[in-house]
Structure 1
Amino acid sequence: MAPSPPPASSQAALCVLTKRADFLRAARARRQSAPAFLLQARRRAPDEPATGIRVGFTCSKKVGNAVARNRAKRRLREIARLELPTNGRDGWDYVLIGRKAATAERDFTLLRADLAAALARIHGKGRPS
Structure 2
Amino acid sequence: MTASQFDDLPGWESPPRRLRNREIRRRVRGVRLGGTIGSMEVAHADPRAIAATVEEPAYWVYFWTETGAAEKFRVTRAGSVHEVLSWAELKSQGRTFGLYIEAGKAIEDRHLIRLSGQEPNRRRS
Q: Considering only CA atoms, is the larger Rg found in Structure 1 or Structure 2?
A: 2
Structure of greater relative contact order (alpha carbons < 8 Å, 6+ residues apart): 1
Structure ranking higher in strand proportion: 2
TM-score range, shorter chain: under 0.3
Tell me the TM-score normalized by structure 1.
0.23
TM-score (norm 2): 0.24
Q: Which has the higher helix share?
A: 1
